[in-house]
Amino acid sequence: MEKYRIDIRKGIEFGLYSIGDHVLNPHNGEKITPEKRIHELIETAKLADEAGLDVFAVGESHQTHFTTQAHTVILGAIAQATKNIKIASSATILSTSDPVRVYEDFATIDLISNGRAEIVAGLWISYWRI
């Protein structure tokens, strides 16, 4: 299991994930800019790292009420801003991406983060197709 960076002695891992929700604040009805929301994601990852959480994940979404259409770019920024926490995609949608590019992006993030990158891949299914 060590070759997969899984330490079974450690037990369960704890972390946070987001797909960059970009909706109205339920308390005041205001909506922050996409830029501010992305910076909040990076700051949240830094706080999670400082608090000792195990993983911080950002998923990919191409809907207008999320800010993570280019989640690998955000993960790269998080890799630079953190020191210890694992950096993962909570969903990388293979049906909308070139698999070679996905591999190259995550291999690069893994190098930037000194081996802390992980990928979770999935297939996007539209709710109106079900």
Residue 3: inside a domain, yes or no?
A: no
In the structure encoding, which two tokens stand for residue 118, read together? Answer: 């992980």
Q: Which of 36-50, 64-78, 101-115, 116-130 has the lowest mean pLDDT?
A: 116-130
State how far the Cα of 5 lies from the Cα of 118, in Å rounded to an integer: 10
Parent domain of 110: 14-22+30-129
Overall pTM surpassing 0.75 (yes/no): yes
Instruction: Quote the number of domains for the chain.
Output: 1
Residue 7: inside a domain, yes or no?
A: no
Please compute, for residue 125, the number of CA atoms within 13 A of its CA located in the half-sphere on the CB side: 5
Quote the pLDDT of residue 97: 85
> Which residues touch 72 (CB under 8 Å, ≥6 apart)?
89, 92, 102, 105, 106, 109
Residue 122: inside a domain, yes or no?
A: yes
